[in-house]
Amino acid sequence: MDEKRLELALEAAGLGQFEWDAAKDLLIISPAAAALTGMPAGPSPGLGGLAWQRWVHPEDLPQVEAVRADCLHRGESFQIDFRQTRADDGRLVWLRVSIAPRLGPDGKLAGAVGVVSDLTSQKLEEEQRQTLMAELDHRVKNVLAAVQVLAYQTAKRTTSLDGFLQNYSGRLKALASANELLTAARWRGAAIDHIAAAELGALAPGQTSWHGPELFLTPRAANALSLALHELTTNAVKFGALSVETGHVEVSWTRPEAGGFELSWLESGGPTVATPTRRGFGSTLLEQVTGRELNGEAVIEYRPSGVRARLIAGPAAVAPRPESVPEVTPSRVVETVAAARAPRSLKGSRVLIVEDAVLLALELETGLSEAGAEVVGPAYELEEAMALLDRPIDAAVLDANLNGRSVTPVAEALARRNVPFVFATGYGETGGAPGGFEAPVIRKPYDVTQVAAAVADLLGAR
């Protein structure tokens, strides 16, 4: 291959060629190498083979020089990545240089040839990945810390195990709901109407409403508001307006001229309300934590006609709204507090469990068995699930993803047999059930009472 064709081949591969002639002490840069490095094309003084090192970043120069001197002294080829300040415009770029020494007839170093490539984009992507991983690690630890505090504070203020499990799982669900919205918006925040829909949309159809101007909240404010609405909702389901069919909850919000927002919670049509004689963690969370997290305040009033709450958030709670925000469809999502209203019996029913997380599968098996169901499985892999489909099955609980593989083949087979199923999944899909199936969805984390209630509803509707 002649020199011109070699140059074209190297350029096509994103490489530039250079050569150092030791006898003439010349550094010869090809046009492609000049475009990559900003150094002048053609011959220039070699400075003993060190000419190009003038542009190496000072922090990288010691390593580059050590590798170069050692390998050339031993007559070995080498490759090294380093930062370079371009000679033409001063931009900082990443380069990868591969050099092979050229020995003369006497075995002494006569020069070197090499190729250079630009790694700037690759290095930037790597740095972004590392930054994202560090941010993810930070957020996971924050979530785990919040989960730990919720568990501790809920346990301190709960007198029974059943009460602890119900209260704690509900609060955990609220955190997961907020996290799902934040993830959909790439953690830039969440729309306030989506937060309200996620907490109220699946409860007592026709008994809840929410309205207000379009607002986008920061991740911190979104988490705080989700927990606050969950506490208010739980109280309304247990003791307030949502504990009877005639009750109603209206949530509205405004945006003051000074910024932030003011949200009002109003219950009506429920039983007569009295001020609680005992303060639980929910009250503490609402009155102390929520206000501080929103850079504002929270005021709760226990009026005889119904609970009223006012959540005031400072300007720092509101974030710029992205160009597009994923929509939410909460009507098919089974909520903890709704499912926990009454225990459900599954006596005599055969329920298939498909779940790749062994601990969750065992918990589902135990819970559904205690509810009276005959468990088929659990199946942890797609092939296991497909092999169980020839057995008698009345209903199924499906995880959406099995070790990276979609559960769709199982759902399709069940649908052909008119076997109802519920999705119990950690995947947040804004368009309803995974795969577009007409099936209820239980978002992880969940408790077994939710699953039992959903399966009972499916069997009761047949």
Cis peptide upstream of residue 322 (ω within 30 degrees of 0):
no
* Residue 249 sits in the same domain as residue 383: no
CATH label of the domain that carries residue 386 = 3.40.50.2300
Q: What is the pLDDT of residue 340?
A: 42
Highest mean pLDDT among 61-70, 195-204, 281-290, 433-442: 61-70
Q: Which residue did the predictor score with more confidence, 73 or 344? A: 73
Q: Is residue 195 part of a domain?
A: yes
Question: Is the pLDDT at 89 greater than 50, yes or no?
Answer: yes
Same domain membership, residue 350 and residue 250? no
Taking residues 103-123, what's their average pLDDT? 83
Collapsing DSSP states into helix, strand and coil, what is residue 445?
coil
Question: Are 186 and 325 contained in the same domain?
Answer: yes
Residue span of the structural domain in which 14 resides: 3-118
Q: What whole-number percentage of the chain has pLDDT above 70?
A: 77
Using an 8 Å Cβ cutoff, are 170 and 230 in contact?
yes
Query: Range with the lowest mean pLDDT among 96-110, 312-326, 372-386, 429-443?
Result: 429-443
The DSSP result for 180-220, as a single string, is: HHHHHTTTS-EEHHHHHHHHHTTSSTTSEEEE----EE-HH
The position carrying tokens 């609402």 is 286
pLDDT (mean) for 308-318: 92
User: What integer pLDDT is reported at residue 153 of this predicted model?
Assistant: 60
Examine the pLDDT at 337 and tell me if it is beyond 50.
no
Tell me, yes or no, whether 128 lies in a domain: no
Max mean pLDDT among 113-117, 184-188, 410-414 falls in 410-414
Q: Report in angstroms the alpha-carbon separations of 244 from 165, 268, 303, 332, 342.
A: 24, 11, 17, 21, 14
Q: Give the pLDDT score at 167.
A: 66
Largest CA distance in the chain: 104
The single residue listed with the structure tokens 């974030």 is 319
In angstroms, rounded to a whole number, what is the distance separating the alpha carbons of residues 449 and 166?
Answer: 9
Indicate the average pLDDT of the chain. 79
The single residue listed with the structure tokens 């003791």 is 239
Shared domain for 312 and 425, answered yes or no, is no
Does a structural domain hold residue 133? no
CATH value at residue 300 = 3.30.565.10
Looking at the fold, whether 315 and 385 belong to one and the same domain comes out as no
Does residue 131 belong to any structural domain of this protein? no
**Is residue 213 predicted with pLDDT exceeding 80?**
yes
Q: What is the pLDDT of residues 225-249, one digit of tens each?
A: 888 888 888 888 888 898 888 899 9
Give the count of domains, the chain.
3
Phi, psi torsion values for 50, nearest 5 degrees: -110, 10
For residues 302-307, average pLDDT: 91
Phi, psi torsion values for 272, nearest 5 degrees = -60, 135
User: Per residue in 209-238, is it b (16+ CB within 10 Å) or e — as a string?
Assistant: ebebeebbbbbbbbbbbbbbbbbbbbbbbe
What percent of the chain shows pLDDT beyond 90? 18
Q: What is the pTM of this model?
A: 0.50
Are residues 358 and 315 part of one domain?
no
Is 306 among the domain residues?
A: yes
Q: What is the CATH number of the domain that holds 19?
A: 3.30.450.20
> Residues 362-413: pLDDT tens digits?
888 888 998 899 999 899 999 999 999 999 999 999 988 887 888 999 999 9
Whether the predicted pLDDT of 295 surpasses 70: yes
Asked if residue 305 and residue 238 are part of one domain, the reply reads: yes
